[in-house]
Amino acid sequence: MIVIAVLVAVSATLVWRRDGIDGVLEILTHDLALFGGILPRVLAGCLLGAFIAEILPHEKVSRSLGPNSGLKGLLIGTAFGAILPGGPFTAYPVASALLTVGADFGATIAMVVSWTLIGYGRAVAWELPIMGTDFTLWRIVISLPLPVLAGALGRFVYVRMYPQAAP
C-alpha cells in the first residue's frame, strides 16, 4: 500500500510539473468517474466471494479442487475461471474464497490464469473491438492449454517448496 501511494504521489507530481494543475485535475476527474462506476461491481464481487465461501461445502471443494484433485481439479478450475462473470473485482475475491474453503494453489492458479487469459468478459468487452476478431480468437485458442499447465506447474513447485503443507 505504501509503495503504491508513493508511486502515485511521484507520478502525480511529475504530471503536475509537466502539464500543470489542469493535467492533474483532468486525470483526477476521469479516474473519479471510473471509480464511481466500478464501486457497485466491487460490492457484487465481494458478495459473490462471500456467498461462495458460505455455500460451497468445504470437504467437497477440497476433494474436487484440493491438492489431490489431479488433472480434474485443474480442469474444473480452468472452466470456472473461463465462465466467471465480471472483472478483477469478482475474480480475485472468488479465488480468495476458493483458497479459504480448501482449493489448493494449483487449482486456484488454473482459475486465475484461465480468467485472465480465456475469460470472455475482457475478450468481448475490450479485445474484440480493439484487436480484431482474427487476432482475439487465435490468441484465445493458443491460450487454451496454458491455465492447466500453469496450475500443474504451480502444484508441482508448491509441493516441493512447502513439503510440510502437503497432505
Q: Could you give the dihedral angle defined by the CA atoms of residues 3, 162, 146 and 61, in that order, rounded to the nearest 10 degrees?
A: -100
Give residue for cell 487449482.
Answer: 107
- Rounded CA-CA distance 140/100 in Å is 29
Binding window for another protein (CB under 8 A); candidates: 58-66, 67-75, 109-117 = 109-117
Between 75 and 127, whose beta carbon lies closer to another protein? 127
Q: Is 46 a residue that touches another protein (CB under 8 A)?
A: yes
Between 79 and 122, whose beta carbon lies closer to another protein? 122
Binding window for another protein (CB under 8 A); candidates: 17-25, 59-67, 71-79 = 17-25
Q: Is 7 a residue that touches another protein (CB under 8 A)?
A: yes
Binding window for another protein (CB under 8 A); candidates: 58-66, 67-75, 95-103 = 95-103
Q: Is 79 a residue that touches another protein (CB under 8 A)?
A: no
Q: Is 32 a residue that touches another protein (CB under 8 A)?
A: yes
- Rounded CA-CA distance 43/78 in Å is 24
By residue count, the chain amounts to 167
Instruction: Give every CB contact of residue 146 below 8 A, 6+ residues apart in sequence.
Output: 113, 117
CB of residue 2 vs another protein: minimum separation in angstroms?
Answer: 10
- Rounded CA-CA distance 106/103 in Å is 8
